């Protein structure tokens, strides 16, 4: 993806969050220069990959296959003494913009429609080897109410609704056509994109960036190292 496109998407996201009065923490507004001047007191942000995140799943078509995220808080799977066993993200999902089939090996997560349009979540259990979608019926909890759907069926979340997704439950989601962009929240157990994601098809997680202009905000994988 071109850096200019990433910059524009982040600026649009800031305006979208503001429309819904969702305030980002201070580091969400730090410039690259501020990051270069920030010391080890911000290592938690660096190490847990908090902040701006964006992917086109290595497909080069962000509007069709893509997701913009902001990680607000996260724990650590590798540190047994870490006190946080949870994570929280904010996401923007556009109409028919697909986050493709994937599951998490250990993470339980609530996907929440915080506002805007409707979010369609397709569901299917993984086969024992994880390589394909099973044909079993899926039973999930939507805000404490049990919902049963056929394999590869879906639930549609209107603003205020959520669904709880257990480990090894394949899911994909997108904004319902004709209802607008969706502000999506995620509350979950600790998140680790390096080890806990399993995509049905071979997908890249982080974009290759063409630097056609300077960064407006750094992505969570780009924070400058601390000056010694």
Mean pLDDT of the chain: 95
Q: From the CB of residue 172, how many other CB atoms can be counted at a distance below 10 Å?
A: 18
Does the residue 213 lie in any domain? no
Question: Rounded distance, CA 117 to CA 130, Å?
Answer: 31
Does the residue 217 lie in any domain? no
The sign of the dihedral angle between the CA atoms of 212, 205, 124, 154 is negative
User: What is the domain extent for residue 87?
Assistant: 3-199
Does the residue 208 lie in any domain? no
Does the residue 225 lie in any domain? no
Cα-Cα end-to-end distance for the chain: 32
pLDDT digits (tens, 9 = 90+) for 9-40: 999 999 999 999 999 999 999 999 999 999 99
- Tell me if 212 sits within 8 A of 3, measured CB to CB: yes
pTM: 0.95
**Chain-centre distance of CA 41, in angstroms?**
25
CATH code of residue 126: 2.60.120.10
Tokens 């507004």 sit at which residue? 29
């Amino acid at each position: 993806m071109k850096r200019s496109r990433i910059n524009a998407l982040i600026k649009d996201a800031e305006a979208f969050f503001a429309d819904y009065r969702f305030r980002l923490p201070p580091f969400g507004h730090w410039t690259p220069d501020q990051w270069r001047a920030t010391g080890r007191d911000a290592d938690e942000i660096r190490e847990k990959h908090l902040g701006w995140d964006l992917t086109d799943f290595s497909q080069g078509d962000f509007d069709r296959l893509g997701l913009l995220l902001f990680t607000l808080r996260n724990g650590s799977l590798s540190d047994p003494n870490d006190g946080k066993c949870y994570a929280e993200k904010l996401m923007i999902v556009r109409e028919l913009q697909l986050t493709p089939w994937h599951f998490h090996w250990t993470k339980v997560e609530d996907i929440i429609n915080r506002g805007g349009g409707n979010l369609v979540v397709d569901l299917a259990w993984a086969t024992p080897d994880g390589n394909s979608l099973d044909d079993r019926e899926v039973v999930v909890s939507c805000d404490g109410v049990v919902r049963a759907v056929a394999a590869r069926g879906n639930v549609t979340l209107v603003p205020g609704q959520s669904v709880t997704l257990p480990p090894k439950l394949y899911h994909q989601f997108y904004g319902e056509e004709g209802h607008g962009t969706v502000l999506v929240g995620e509350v979950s157990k600790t998140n680790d994109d390096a080890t806990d994601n399993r995509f049905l098809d071979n997908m890249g997680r982080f974009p290759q960036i063409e630097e056609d202009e300077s960064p407006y905000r750094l992505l969570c994988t780009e924070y400058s190292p601390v000056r010694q």
